[in-house]
Amino acid sequence: MRHFISVNQLTVEEIYSILETAEAYRNQKVTLNNQLFAANIFFEPSTRTKMSFIVAQKKLGMEVLDFHSESSSVRKGESLYDTAKTFESIGSNLLIIRHQSDSWFEELDSRISIPVINAGAGKEEHPTQCMLDLMTIHQEYGSINGLKVVIVGDIKHSRVARSNALALHRLGAEVYLSAAPGFEDEELDFPYISIDQAVEICDVVMLLRIQHERHLHKAESTDYLELYGLTKERERKMKNHAIILHPAPINRGVEIDTDLVECCRSRIFKQMENGVYVRMAIMMNVLNEWGIIDENNFKEYKALAVNR
Ligand code: NCD
């Protein structure tokens, strides 16, 4: 049975099917018949991902188990595996996990018999963020194939960059990267272009925060906006229809001029809204695959929603 660890594990058809379900959930109330417990196990700070999972779970009618690592038995030396196993033992039906390790799921994998959804793995993967980004781009353009998308910022330390670059490429987008010296990632095989070039040719400009928490030495950010970020002058050179994305949290005035955060090209708050529906769709998909929710009801909901 599959845990939801990476967008890479999904076929292109599965990606689009989840996006379609998410779109449908925007207009269609979906509530599960049976009592299900979802545990949100976050070892790293989170506002959007955690809260939108909670909203998504509540919209689906789930019981939400909240976990705070700093007041948990992790402080007494308990491992991630033992924490996850505890939630499984007390009756949790689903685990949502964010952890600073790039490969925390290897510790769980076949040893946990309830589904696990990756809500962020170190600098490696952030598949639910990627899905909501895909949803936002798809909503805008009706297709992803052939779009020019640039990911700008601290590529080397960003799980959002990695998840998105690979998924967008699989869906036929032309992916470009743009980074200050030292922020490039040689493992990602996509062309690097300057921010000035990027704004002129790209349909989607996806900005990233400097991931200070993953830096060994504090990065200097003086002049960062002028040299590598999205200034108002650069925004004026973007194509007419081009949009701005950012997974947030935003460091206003560092990677983006504060006035652009809510400008008409910005889809940043739309991304957050989409995050709720995409996470509902991902949870339903995983619970269905694991046979935890009633297959027929699920299909019925889906059919109802899609035909609306
Ligand atoms: C991102 C994350 O945690 O990777 N935020 C998010 O989930 N919306 C991006 C970041 O922290 O910069």
With CA atoms as reference, report the closest residue to 232 among 203, 268, 265. 265
Give the CATH architecture of domain 7-126+275-300.
Answer: 3-Layer(aba) Sandwich (3.40)
Higher pLDDT, 267 or 298: 267
Look up residue 162 and give its two tokens.
Answer: 């990695």
Task: Using pLDDT thresholds of 50, 70 and 90, give the confidence band for residue 306.
Answer: very low
Average pLDDT over residues 170-180: 98
Question: How far is it, in rounded angstroms, from Cα 33 to Cα 30?
Answer: 10
Task: Using pLDDT thresholds of 50, 70 and 90, give the confidence band for residue 304.
Answer: low
Task: Using pLDDT thresholds of 50, 70 and 90, give the confidence band for residue 75.
Answer: confident
% pLDDT > 70, the chain: 94
The count of C-alpha atoms lying within 13 angstroms of the C-alpha of 95, restricted to the half-sphere facing its C-beta, is 32
Question: How far is it, in rounded angstroms, from Cα 63 to Cα 40?
Answer: 11
Distance 47 CA to ligand 1 centre (A): 9
Higher pLDDT, 153 or 77: 153
Higher pLDDT, 50 or 303: 50
Pairing state of beta strands 116-121 and 63-68? unpaired
Distance 45 CA to ligand 1 centre (A): 9
Distance 256 CA to ligand 1 centre (A): 16
* 188-213 pLDDT per residue, tens: 999 999 999 999 999 999 999 999 88
Q: Which of 42, 44, 48, 49 is the pocket-test mutation for ligand 1 (most atoms within 8 Å of CB)? A: 49
Distance 247 CA to ligand 1 centre (A): 6
48 lines ligand 1 (CB under 6 A): yes
Ramachandran region, residue 243 (left: φ > 0; alpha: ψ -120 to 50; beta: rest): beta
CB 9 within 8 A of CB 166: no
Shortest-distance atom of ligand 1 to CA 126:
4
Residue of minimum CA distance from atom 11 in ligand 1: 249
* 153-166 pLDDT per residue, tens: 999 999 999 999 99
Q: Which of 48, 49, 160, 163 is the pocket-test mutation for ligand 1 (most atoms within 8 Å of CB)? A: 160
* 16-55 pLDDT per residue, tens: 999 999 999 998 888 888 899 999 999 999 999 999 999 9
Task: Using pLDDT thresholds of 50, 70 and 90, give the confidence band for residue 307.
Answer: very low
Task: Using pLDDT thresholds of 50, 70 and 90, give the confidence band for residue 76.
Answer: confident
Is it the case that residue 295 has pLDDT exceeding 70?
A: no
With CA atoms as reference, report the closest residue to 132 among 306, 281, 301, 264. 281
| Domain 127-270 fold | Rossmann fold (3.40.50)
Q: What pLDDT score was predicted for residue 213?
A: 85
120 lines ligand 1 (CB under 6 A): yes
Q: What pLDDT score was predicted for residue 110?
A: 87
| Per-state percent for the chain, helix, strand, coil, to nearest 5 | 45, 15, 40
Higher pLDDT, 213 or 128: 128
Three-class HEC string of 186-227: CCCCCCECCHHHHHHHCCEEEECCCCHHHCCCCCCCCCHHHH
Residue of minimum CA distance from atom 12 in ligand 1: 209
Average pLDDT over residues 205-233: 89
Distance 97 CA to ligand 1 centre (A): 14
275 lines ligand 1 (CB under 6 A): no
Domain ranges, ordered by start, for the chain: 7-126+275-300, 127-270
Is it the case that residue 63 has pLDDT exceeding 70?
A: yes
Look up residue 72 and give its two tokens.
Answer: 């948990």
Q: What pLDDT score was predicted for residue 109?
A: 84
Is it the case that residue 1 has pLDDT exceeding 70?
A: no
Q: What pLDDT score was predicted for residue 308?
A: 38
Residue 307: Cβ-neighbour burial (10 angstroms; 0-12, 13-18, 19+): exposed
Asked if the domains 7-126+275-300 and 127-270 are classified in one and the same CATH topology, the answer is yes
Q: What pLDDT score was predicted for residue 64?
A: 98
Residue 141: Cβ-neighbour burial (10 angstroms; 0-12, 13-18, 19+): middle
Look up residue 71 and give its two tokens.
Answer: 């007041």
Q: What pLDDT score was predicted for residue 302?
A: 54
Which of 35-49, 85-99, 137-151, 215-229 bottoms out in mean pLDDT, i.e. has the lowest? 215-229
Residue of minimum CA distance from atom 7 in ligand 1: 49
99 lines ligand 1 (CB under 6 A): no
% pLDDT > 90, the chain: 84
